Amino acid sequence: MIFKKLISIFLCLFIFGCTQNLNTVSNKKQLQFKTRYQNSGFALIYNDELSMMKSLESRSLEIYHKSLKKRSIVKITNPENGKYLLAQVRSNRVKFSSFYNSVLSQRIAEELELDIFEPYIEIISVPKNSTFVAKKAKMFEEEREVAEKAPVDGIQINDLNTKEKRKKNIKTKKFSYSIKVADFYYKDTAKIMLDRIKNDTSLDNLSIVKLSSTKYRVIIGPFNDIKSLKDSFEKMNILNFENLEILKNV
């Protein structure tokens, strides 16, 4: 009788343990999906004046990034018009200001119709198991071959500048952005972060925005010009945040 009871207890523990393992695996998969790289901010559009930087072919669908692995696939969106495309990370070893979330080719900027004076984008990494990766891998190799064989004057920077100068004359939208530091579950935790930033930097235009009863966001701003925005963003580097975002104020 005692033996049967012991067997029953053992089976219960075994089943419970299996359930925990299944839940753990499920949670890990969900966590990996939720924590994939995503960032909103300003891109740097490559041109010949960036001579200190490794060349980026103007006709390619490649970008430079600071943290994503080489050959990673990303979806880049222009929030202004909703246009997006898939691009590939060419290298993560190229040095550029941390204010920019990536360096884009001129072709990407053109196809997304980015404002070169305000090249605001959203960039999201595409998971390796996505069907997009398999379908696009060959395309990137073909694009590289085409770009390498194309004439140097395939896309002229002067033409871009001419078009954008015309746009600038009719530009009426207001420049207004804020720096998103992080989101917190508790307001007290957000307050601790806000106080830390005030103590460790010279920044003082900070605030806490309540998004819901369980979500409090620490932001810096708003900023009405790109210079002050960039200066404040770079001052935050001493705190070693991995993924600061720039949010456009609506």
Q: Which of 5-19, 69-83, 175-189 has the lowest mean pLDDT?
A: 5-19
Alpha carbon distance 121, 101 (integer Å): 9
- Do the domains 38-169 and 177-248 sit in the same CATH topology, yes or no? no
Structure tokens at 227: 């210079």
Residue spans of beta strands (DSSP E) within 36-83 = 38-45, 62-64, 73-77
- Name which CATH class applies to 177-248: alpha beta
Q: Which amino acid is at 196?
A: R
- pLDDT band for position 172 (cuts 50, 70, 90): low
Q: Taking residues 16-35, report their average pLDDT.
A: 37
CB atoms within 10 A of CB 189: 13
Q: Taking residues 200-226, report their average pLDDT.
A: 93
Enumerate the domain spans of the chain: 38-169, 177-248
For the cut 50, the answer to whether the pLDDT of residue 214 exceeds it is: yes
Alpha carbon distance 88, 107 (integer Å): 13
For the cut 70, the answer to whether the pLDDT of residue 141 exceeds it is: no
Residue 140 neighbours by CB under 8 Å, 6+ apart? 61, 62, 88
In the chain, the percentage of residues whose pLDDT exceeds 70 is: 68
For the cut 50, the answer to whether the pLDDT of residue 6 exceeds it is: no
* Second CATH level (architecture) for the domain 38-169: Beta Barrel (2.40)
Alpha carbon distance 44, 102 (integer Å): 6
